Amino acid sequence: MVVTFLLTFAVFVLVVFAMSLGWIIKRKSIQGSCGGISSLGLEKVCDCPEPCDARKKRIVREAQRQQNRIL
């Protein structure tokens, strides 16, 4: 029973490590396969007329990241 638990735990640790390694190498955030809310043509989730300060900072950061990206 303990061996099964340790083996299962090791597999989960390896999977999490592999996922984190993929993120570290590609610097790409995890996203769904269907595109989420952006596939509907919506820029934001809330119905606010103007995005909040945190959202504005994220937009600027993402634009800078896209600008500095090497393909």
**Euclidean distance between CA atoms 6 and 69, whole angstroms:** 41
What is the predicted pLDDT for the residue at 21? 84
pTM over 0.75: no
pLDDT one-digit tens code per residue, 33-43: 666 666 666 66
Residues of the chain with confidence (pLDDT) below 50: none
What is the predicted pLDDT for the residue at 44? 58
